[in-house]
Amino acid sequence: MSETQHESVRLAPDPSPGLTKVGGDTPVVSPPARRRRRKGIGWPARLEIALMTGPTLIVFLSFVILPVAMAAYYGFFSWQGYGPAEDFVGFRNYLLIFEDSTFIDALRHNGIIVVLSLLLQGPAAILLALLLNRQMWGQTLIRVLVFIPYVIAEVVVGTGWSLMLHGEGVVNAVLEKIGLGWLQNDWLSDPKIAMWTLMGILTWKYIGFAVILFLAGLQGIPEELTEAAAIDGASYWQIQRRITLPLLGPTIRIWAFLSMIGALQLFDLVYIIWGQYVAATAGTSTMATYMVANGRNAGEYGYGNAVAVVLFFISLFAALLYQRFILRRDTEGAITGGRR
């Protein structure tokens, strides 16, 4: 009870239009009431809706939607971050972005990362999930261990890997020791290799998440199907190919979606390992590191916001395409429409 009152205090002074739209003039019927009208229709239920969604909407609108709208607004200004934005420049920021070869490079790197993430992590994670889905000794422990890199902070991963991968680091030392000295490399700063180094680290860090998702998906596949196939004489790989993989389809497609969006937004690891300057020369810069380097770090907030808008629309475009052609049958309306 006290919580409800507390909420109403927070709610009262807010003039958010979204709130009144949702909680205000709307007839309310709770599911059981469809069959027989109950006393619950009307103000009490409206109040409940307002109280229980109001705070969420306030936080969500002010800290998620508003900043995105602000980015769209400031993107049209040349603005250094203090005082009101007055120097309206129209689409000049956007023209500058697409004329800047550094940005085009970053965009290309993002594209490479998206494709390689799907190609490297997807098949590997499916095989690992199949492997870990069977009863074997130490199964639980193995599952935990596979997930560990995913749980470790990007900063820790970045710091650790950059210590290990630099010229005199442990990776080169181990290669020397096991007689593979010719494989020694300048893993981080050689532009020919840096991207593959990044992909290695990304795969190491994020494959655990894919494996856990796939394991969860595999658990939803009824055993009867594989049993029936086995009785009919199908081999293990035939079963995986013809039964498990198609049934795992929705999970794989959701993972691919998350992976794609994550790859387009990639920032932390690149920024921590390479920093804003080296990332561009080593060929690992991304749109997000470009945005931070040329926006906040350069004091050009208007330009940074324009980059954010470009990044947003590229992600949105990719997401909509994906949704339209691949994800549609799995999550009907979850992202674009409101059929739920």
Residues numbered 158 to 177 that lie near another protein (CB under 8 A) are: 159-161, 163-164, 168-170, 172-174, 177
Side chain identity, residue 178: I
**φ/ψ (deg, to 5) at 77:** -120, 155
Nearest to 268, CA basis, from 152, 120, 114? 152
Largest distance between two CA atoms of the chain: 80
**CA pair distance 180, 182, nearest whole angstrom:** 5
**CA pair distance 297, 31, nearest whole angstrom:** 53
Contact with another protein (CB under 8 A) among 104, 115, 156, 183: 156
State which residue, 112 or 142, has the beta carbon closest to another protein.
142
Contact with another protein (CB under 8 A) among 10, 42, 66, 192: 66
Q: Which of residues 127-146 bind another protein (CB under 8 A)?
A: 128, 131-132, 134-138, 140, 142-146
**CA pair distance 210, 295, nearest whole angstrom:** 33
Side chain identity, residue 313: F
State which residue, 70 or 191, has the beta carbon closest to another protein.
70
Q: Is 77 within 8 Å of 88 (Cβ atoms)?
A: yes
Check residue 43 for interaction with another protein (CB under 8 A).
no
Contact with another protein (CB under 8 A) among 42, 64, 123, 298: 64
Q: Which of residues 246-275 bind another protein (CB under 8 A)?
A: 250-251, 254, 261, 265, 267-268, 272
**CA pair distance 12, 261, nearest whole angstrom:** 37
Check residue 151 for interaction with another protein (CB under 8 A).
yes
Check residue 97 for interaction with another protein (CB under 8 A).
no
Q: How far is the CB of 111 from another protein (least distance, A)?
A: 17
For residue 119, how many C-alpha atoms fall within 13 Å in the half-sphere facing its CB?
8
Check residue 95 for interaction with another protein (CB under 8 A).
no
Q: Which of residues 103-122 bind another protein (CB under 8 A)?
A: none
Q: How far is the CB of 112 from another protein (least distance, A)?
A: 18
